[in-house]
Amino acid sequence: MILALACACQFMVILDSSIVNVALPSIQQDLSFTATSLAWVVNGYLLTFAGFMLLGGRASDLFGHRRMLIAGLFVFSAASLVAGLANASEVLVGARIVQGMGAAMLAPATLAVINTYFTEQPARSKAFGAWSASGGIGGMAGAIAGGALTTGLSWRWIFLINVPIGAVLIAVAVVSLVRAQARQRESLDIVGAITGTAGLGALVYGVMHVADYGWTSTRVVVPALVGVVLLIVFVVVEARFAVNPMMPLRLFKIRGVAVGGGALLLFGGIAIGMWFFTSLFMQNVLGYSAFETGLGQTPAAVMFVVIARFASGLLPKTGVRPLVLAGAACFLVGFTWLAQADSTSSYVASLLGPTLLIAVGIGLTFPTLMAASTADAPEGDAGIVGGMAVTASQVGGSIALAVLATVAGTGIASALSGGSTPAEAFASGYETVFYIAAGVGVAIAAVSLLLPRLKTD
């Protein structure tokens, strides 16, 4: 029941990052969004989700994972209700921002639950596999569920459906999770919470605008620089002034936390290269509709879920490095293969095989890296360690999206100026992206050599 609870929470968090996309045209029409403001229906959620993750993780340690998970479910469900009933664009965006905060409370709390209740390595590895697979199912279900609910009922139900589900999960959490003693003697590091949260939020906010305005735009440079400065202040405060730091820097002395976080940062680029750019390839090069693209990505999503569960059983026997190295090899071969596709390619001949191979790599590496990053978390720090791991993958994905979108845009513009057709130009830009993603796979392989062996290796 506890594992099902953690997985269901992770499913909801990932589902709500993707379910909105299909419904955006209907939302724009009903609430009179402008083209620019419509993006905040998605970005508002992602921004606060990434920015508040560390704070959510530390709060889970200080106040107890049970309290934070229940509080996160309540905030998430209440914000979903407001979003579903919204009658103005500002109300919907505000609700999505609060939803992201609830998700930032939930995600590290679920990891803390897994680390607390699954103490033996084989059981913990399987739990991480199930947790990772539930996120994959959430991402896969987003496009399908969003389309079905929007078409069959209304876009409002993509949010309202969370309310009864959240109520059930709160009841399960109350019954199944043991009431933990909060660390009353330790107060929350307010200065660290403000500088860390604002720094991450500003950095991600700036990076989000790179694709639209370019790297030199003040809309990118100013918030990104503010974010970097605040994060530097955050590190100084945590190292020298905080009595009970929000993110104790001693945690980086743990090899799994430091190296695993670096690998997850790189992994964000793999995830973006796979799901985001293959979606664009199908639509802009092959001419697929959004629904056809969702169906085209379904085999890879199913493969990821299957392999993630399979890898969790192998992890206690093989250890971390063999699985990550095997996954990195899949990335190298899969993305190199994918880069050969062009405007004359067919889905079966040029996309199905490489995307399945890359999905195998994701299934092997993601749950393994999450397990390696959190395995040696000290007692009382499971929440912040989990928050750091999820933050690394989220921030890595945001930075990778900005970099890869810029690279793709440059390649597309160059091809168009050279006389290529739009489909040929898009294929040329995405080809470069896929080669870069293959290189990121090699980097993950190199970093994995520094990962510690699990205790039962």
Cα separation, 28 vs 210, whole angstroms: 23
- The answer to whether residues 199 and 80 belong to one domain is no
Residue 456: the pLDDT is: 44
- The answer to whether residues 91 and 214 belong to one domain is no
- The answer to whether residues 29 and 166 belong to one domain is yes
- The answer to whether residues 326 and 447 belong to one domain is yes
Question: Would you say residue 68 has pLDDT above 50?
Answer: yes
Report residue 457's pLDDT band, with 50, 70 and 90 as the boundaries.
Answer: very low
Report residue 326's pLDDT band, with 50, 70 and 90 as the boundaries.
Answer: very high
Contacts of 7 (CB under 8 A, 6+ apart): 110, 130, 131, 133, 134
| Domain boundary pick from 209, 227, 245 | 245
- The answer to whether residues 19 and 62 belong to one domain is yes
| Domain boundary pick from 167, 183, 199 | 183
pLDDT, tens only, 190-243: 887 788 888 888 887 888 777 677 888 888 899 989 989 998 998 888 888 777
- The answer to whether residues 423 and 328 belong to one domain is yes
Question: Would you say residue 184 has pLDDT above 60?
Answer: no
List the Cα angle 14/19/25 in 5-degree steps.
150
How distant, in Å, are the alpha carbons of 137, 293, 298, 368, 446 from that of 352?
19, 12, 10, 25, 27
Total domains, the chain = 3
Residue 229: the pLDDT is: 93
Residue 22: the pLDDT is: 66
- Percent of the chain residues past pLDDT 90, beyond the cut: 17
CB 18 within 8 A of CB 146: yes
Residue 290: the pLDDT is: 65
Higher pLDDT, 364 or 20: 364
pTM: 0.78
- Domain extent, residue 92, equals 1-183
Closest CA to 248 of 107, 58, 394, 53: 58
Residue 277, token pair as written in the block: 């750019």
Question: Would you say residue 434 has pLDDT above 90?
Answer: yes
Residue 21: the pLDDT is: 67
| Domain boundary pick from 160, 183, 206 | 183
- The answer to whether residues 228 and 285 belong to one domain is no
Query: How far is the first Cα of the chain from the last one, in angstroms, to the nearest whole number?
Result: 28
Contacts of 390 (CB under 8 A, 6+ apart): 53, 107, 108, 111
CB 373 within 8 A of CB 256: yes
Q: Return the CA Rg of the chain.
A: 21
